[in-house]
Amino acid sequence: MAQSKSIYDDIKKELECPVCQEQFSDGNEPKVLQCLHTFCKSCLEGWLRQHRGGALTCPNCRQRTECPKNNIDCLPSNLTYKNLIDILKTYSRNGDHGETFCERHKEKVKFYCEQCEICICSDCAILDHRDRNCHNIISLEEGAKKQKANIERKMTALSANSSRLKSYASLLEKRRALTNKSIEEATKEVHRVAERCINSIRQHESSVTELLQTQKSSCNDEYSKELSKLTEKIRQTRNVAAQSKNVHQRNNLQEMLNINQVLDERIAVEGLPVLTYPEFKYISDDALSLNFTPGQLYITNTEPSLSVATGNGLTKGTQGNEGTFTVTTSDSKGQATYSEIDNVRVDIKSNQRGIEDIRSVVKDLKNGHYSISYTPKVAGNFSVSIKVRDEPIKESPFTLVITKNNGSRKLGKHRLVDFNVIRHACWQSRTLGKGEGTFSPREKAYIESRFTT
C-alpha cells in the first residue's frame, strides 16, 4: 500500500509546473518549449511578457524558443502529461490510492452506502446514514462484490457497443466498395460511348468523367472521415475495456466506483452518423444522333434497407380477388426518393409444394412510389420478396396469407353451388324469352357441370 501510494504521489509531483508548483490541468495546459522542457501555460505567458514578446528563454536551460504571434497557444502541448492527468482523474478522484479515509471525519472507511454510492466511516454511518429507509449500509466486501458484478455487466455492454461499431465500420467499407464499383463501371461505359462518337462526343466524355471522379473523391472523403471517427472510438473503447479489466481484477471498491463513470461515458454510444450511400450508373443510347447527348448519368441515393412496403394486400388477400400494396423507396434519412435505376422487383412464392407462385405487376409511379398488384388463383401461405437493386427492403421477405373465397357454398355432400352461375343462367333464360326456370338440355348440362365439384 505504501509503495503504491508513493508511486502515485511521484506521478502527481511530476505533473506540477517546475516554476509555480501548481498541478497541470485542462485550463492550465502543459506547454513544451523547443528544448523539450515543460511548463504551465500561465507561467509561460508571464515569462513571455517579461521578454516583451517574440520569443522567450527556457527557465531551466535558457534555450531560446520562438513564439509566433506572441501566443502561447501556438506552442505544442505535452500530450503525455495530458494523458497522465486523465488517467489520474480516472484512477482516483480523491487523490488517495491506498487505504481510503473519510474526508470529513479523517477515519478509515468501513462501510458502503448503496443509495448514496459512497464509502463511509463509522461516524458517517451513525450521523448521516442512520435512516434505514433512505440508506442501505453494507460492508465494503459486499459493496465491492456488487460493484464488481455491475462492472461485469457494463463490460459486457461495452463489448456489445464495440461489436456494433466494428459492424458499422465493416458496412461502410462494403458501401464504399459498392459505390466505387458502380463509379468504375459507369466510367467504363461512358468511355465506350465516347469512342463511338468521335470529336463531338469527347467533350461529353470529359465532363461526365470529371463529374464521376468528383463524386468518387467526395464519397471517399466522407467514408474516410467516418471510418477515422469509428477507428478512434474503437481504440478508446479498447483502452477503457483494458483499464476496466485491470480494475476488475484488483477488486478495489474505490477504483471500481471511479471506473464506473468512465464505463458509463463509453457505453453511451452516440447516434451513428447518417450518410448518403450513392450508386452510379451510366445509361447510354447506342443509336445516338449527334444532335442529342450520347447518354445520361443517373445517380440513386435510395437505401434499400430503409425502403418500405405498406398496404393490406402485403400480408393478406382473398382467392380470385386482386390484392395491392405500395413500395416506397427511401434515402438514408428515411425520406421518399426516386431514381430511374432503382429497379424494384417483387416475387410472390408459395411456401407449399405443388402450389403455383403468384405473378405480380409493378407499376412505377415516377415519384418514389411503386404500386404492386396481384391476383391469387389459390389459397395458401406465400412469401413476398421485395428488392431494390437486388437488395431486400426493410423487413423483407413478408408473409402473405391468401384465404378462400366465400362466394361459393356447399349443398349436400358432393355438390357446390355458385350463385353467380345461377344468376347468369336466369338472366340468359329471360333474355331468350323463355319462362322463368325453363332451360334447354344444353343449358341444364352447363349448370350441372358448374355445380359439380
- Among 10, 14, 45, smallest CA distance to 28 is for 45
Residue 23 above 70 pLDDT?
A: yes
Question: 425 in helix, strand or coil?
Answer: helix
SS3 call for 299? strand
Assess contact for 3 and 54: CB atoms under 8 A. Answer: no
pLDDT in tens, 340-352: 999 999 999 998 8
Per-residue model confidence (pLDDT) at position 321: 92
Q: Annotate 302-341 with DSSP letters as a single string.
A: --GGG-EEESGGGTEEETTS-EEEEEE-B-TTS-B---TT
For 398, residues 6+ apart whose C-beta sits below 8 A from its C-beta are 309, 314, 315, 383, 384, 386
Query: Which is more confidently placed, 452 or 354?
Result: 354
Residue type present at position 92: S
What does the alpha-carbon distance between residue 178 and residue 172 come to, in Å, rounded to a whole number?
A: 10
CB 174 within 8 A of CB 282: no
Q: What is the pLDDT of residues 395-441, one digit of tens each?
A: 999 999 999 887 644 444 444 445 555 555 555 555 555 444 555 66
How many CA within 13 A on the CB side of residue 14? 14
What's residue 453's pLDDT? 44
Q: Are 424 and 432 in contact (CB under 8 A)?
A: no
3-state secondary structure of 429: helix
Report yes or no: 338 and 368 within 8 Å, Cβ to Cβ.
yes
Kindly tell me if the per-residue pLDDT of 151 is higher than 70: yes
Q: Which of 117, 123, 109 is nearest to 146 (CA)?
A: 117
The CB-side HSE value for 180 (13 A sphere, CA atoms) comes to 11
Q: What is the mean pLDDT of the chain?
A: 80
In which band, very low, low, confident or very high, does the pLDDT at 447 lie, cut at 50, 70 and 90? Answer: low
pTM of the model: 0.46
Alpha carbons 256 and 247: distance in angstroms, whole number: 6
pLDDT band, very low/low/confident/very high, at 98 (cuts 50, 70, 90): low
Among 227, 213, 233, 212, CA closest to 175: 227
Q: Is the dihedral of CA 47, 52, 54, 55 positive or negative?
A: negative
Under 8 Å between Cβ of 350 and 319? no
* Residue 292 scores a pLDDT above 70: no
What is the per-residue pLDDT across 175-214, written as a single tens digit (0 to 9) for each? 889 889 999 999 988 888 777 766 676 677 788 888 899 8
Query: pLDDT value at position 359?
Result: 93
